[in-house]
Amino acid sequence: GGGARAGGYERRCPYIVGFYGVFLTPDRTKLCAVLEYCKGGEFFGFATKNRFSEKTARCYFRQLITGVAYMHARGYAHRDLSLENILLDDKETLKICDFGLTVHMTDRKAKLQEEGEHRPGKIRYMPPEIFHMEPYNPFAADLYCCGVILFVMLMATFPYEMPTPDDNRFSHILSGRLRDLLKMWNLDHVVSSEAKDLLSGLLAYEPKRLTLQQVLNHPFVRAGAGEGGGAAAAAPRTAPAAPSSSTAVRGGGVEEAESKQSQQRQQQQRRQQQRKQIVTPGWFLAGPETMRAQVQNVTVTTLRGFVSSKDESVVAALERELVRTYHMTE
The Cβ of residue 93 has, within 10 Å, a number of other Cβ atoms equal to: 21
Is 186 annotated as ligand-binding? no
Distance (Å, whole) CA 156 – CA 47: 7
Is 27 annotated as ligand-binding? no
**Of 80, 180, 188, 311, which one is the catalytic site residue?**
80
Torsion angle, alpha carbons of 57, 201, 81, 250, to 10:
90
Q: In this structure, are residues 132 and 75 in contact, taking their beta carbons and an 8 Å threshold?
A: no
Is 258 annotated as ligand-binding? no
Distance (Å, whole) CA 117 – CA 41: 31
Q: In this structure, are residues 215 and 146 in contact, taking their beta carbons and an 8 Å threshold?
A: yes
Distance (Å, whole) CA 267 – CA 317: 26
Q: Is-catalytic flag, 107?
A: no
Name the helix (H) or strand (E) containing 87: strand 86-88
Active site residues per annotation: 80
Annotated binding residues for ATP, written as ranges, equal 84-85, 98
Annotated binding residues, written as ranges, equal 84-85, 98
